[in-house]
Structure formats: structure tokens, C-alpha cells
Amino acid sequence: MKTTGIVHIVGAGPGDPDLITVQGLRRIREADVILHDRLVHPRLIAEARRDAIVIDVGKRPGAEDEQQKEIHRLMIDYARQGKVVCRLKGGDPFVFGRGGEETDALASAGVPFDVTPGVTSVTAAPASAGIPVTHRGCSHSFLVINGSRSVDLESGEWLAARELLRAGGTVVVVMGLGRIAEIAAKLLEDGCSPKTPAAAISRATWPDQESRVGSVSDIAAKSTGLKSPALIVIGSVAALSKEHLGRLAADFADASA
């Protein structure tokens, strides 16, 4: 009788390989099989054992649900062969990572598993741009929401996001770059001040990270040309970005000259 292996679902962090956890790195080094997302840094893949089976299971456009089913099959099949499997996912597995679907599939198949949390881009991307998602006397709460075209901007979640902005909180939008003009227009239509600060952060923590800072009224235009993945921060905290504060410092220096 074969001994069932185990699946370690591991968060690789937002991009920079130095931001993986110690436990996550150990899981990679000990694995017999690594099933990794497309955006996981190559330096982390290079930590695999020489004899490890390494498979890129990153999603490609179209038939994402079928691709997800194949990931489930691979995890279960390899674990049933008695192998130690590292399912390496960008960010945190349980934050817009379909990690819950994978643990459900493993549990239903009777396959042992555990989860190694990862640094999520939800907070890491703003931090890398110098933006705190909460700030004393400025914003005491933040909401994270999906901005993809599959989500209705009239949903209860988006209504809650607009209310939070009106109350002075922070809204972090993931997967919304391709829809940023529509999102901004809807916020303005529903009474959001056009002066509300906003920032778009592309490829956070990677060497080619780029940030654009403005307001709800102009962030769509300012974000032209940004690469995905990108994240949008809306609220007063966006005015605390390194780029914004750097411009203020430069303007002050010019005025003082």
C-alpha cells in the first residue's frame, strides 16, 4: 500500500523573492514536486532540488476553470504517489488566489495538506510605494475589492466601497487596471469627490515597479501604459506616496531657491 504524500500550499509573496517566508522557502527546498504560478520569481524556482519535478501551472487566458481543475488533479495525483508537493502561489494563497478551492479539492480527495501564508500584494504593493493603507488621523479602515470585469460595479461590495470612501477610509482595488476608467467614472457618478487621492502601482516589489499618483478624476489617464499586474489605492492615504511627497519636496525646494 502506497503512503499518501502531502501538499503544502505556499504563498510566494508579491514578487521580490526576498519577501517569501522562511517556512515557504523550506517547503520549496524540500518538495518532490513544485506546481508554481506564472508570476513566481525565477529565483524561488531555482531553490528546488535538482531532482524535483517542476511544473508551471500559471493560468493562461481562456478556460481558467478547466486549468484550475487540472491543478487540482496534479496535486492529488502526485500526493497519492507519496510525493511531497509544493503548490507555490503568488502573494497569499487565500487572498484572491483560489487557495480555498484547492484546499477544498484536497480535503474532498482525502489528501493531507497545510497552508503557508504569504505576504499579500494587497498591503505590500501600497507599502512599496510608500502608501500606508491606514494612517492615524487619516484613515482607520480599508477595504479590498476585485475590480475585474466579472464583478458588477453595482454589487453590494462596491456599494460598501463607495460608502467607505465617503467616510474617509481606504479602498484597495485588485485586478482593476483594465477597468480603471470605468471604476473612476462610477465613483464620480456616485458622489466621490474628484479630488480624492488615488494611486496605481504596477509590478510592485519587482525591479520595474512603477507608480502613478493623482486623483479619482485623472488616475485613469495617468495610468496609461502601466503593466499588469497592478493595484489601485483610493483614499487620502494615496497622497502619502513616495512619488507625491517627493514632488511636494521638490516644489518646496524650488520655491525656496
pLDDT tens digits for 119-169? 999 999 999 999 999 998 889 999 999 999 888 999 999 999 999 999 999
The one catalytic residue among 18, 32, 56, 59? 59
- Residue 179 near residue 204, CB atoms below 8 Å: no
With cut-offs at 50, 70 and 90, classify the pLDDT of residue 79.
Answer: very high
Q: Is 59 a catalytic residue?
A: yes
The one catalytic residue among 16, 32, 37, 92? 37
Cis peptide before 61 (omega within 30 of 0): no
Topology, domain 6-116: Cobalt-precorrin-4 Transmethylase; domain 1 (3.40.1010)
With the C-alpha atoms ordered 34, 204, 162, 185, is the resulting torsion angle positive or negative? negative
Report which of 251, 233, 208, 254 is spatially closest to residue 130, judged by C-alpha positions: 233
Which residue has 489528501 as its cell numbers? 111
**The two domains 6-116 and 121-245 share their CATH topology (first three levels equal):** no
Please report, for the chain, the start and end positions of each structural domain, with discontinuous segments joined by +: 6-116, 121-245
Topology, domain 121-245: 3.30.950
Please state, in angstroms and rounded to a whole number, the distance separating the CA atoms of residues 22 and 205: 18
pLDDT tens digits for 212-230? 999 999 999 999 999 999 9
Count other Cβ atoms within 10 Å, centred on residue 52: 19
